[in-house]
Amino acid sequence: MKDRRTEITVETYEVLLIKQRGGLSRSWCRTCSKQVALISLADAWIAGLSAETIRQGEEAGRFHLIEMTDGSPSICLNSIIQI
């Protein structure tokens, strides 16, 4: 009798929806060399990124932090999506 093999592949997708009046902020990201959408640190925390994860990601060059004109830091959305 021949052995049968069954292979099951499971794909999952996660969608995070952040609603803001006026849309996302945009600014120039030096690392990406283009204009990008930005996410605030508060929204990143809501999305499940801890302060430690953000700090480590910035130190490793994975997250691109951009200081806004008011002095508040934001993260380049492209760098978060590439995780």
Reference 27, options 63, 60, 64; nearest CA is 64
Q: How many CB atoms lie within 10 A of CB 37?
A: 16
Q: For the chain, what percentages of helix, strand and coil (3-state, to nearest 5) are there?
A: 25, 25, 55
Average of per-residue pLDDT values in the chain: 84
Q: What is the pLDDT of residues 13-43, one digit of tens each?
A: 776 666 666 667 889 999 999 999 998 888 8
Q: State pTM to two decimals.
A: 0.67
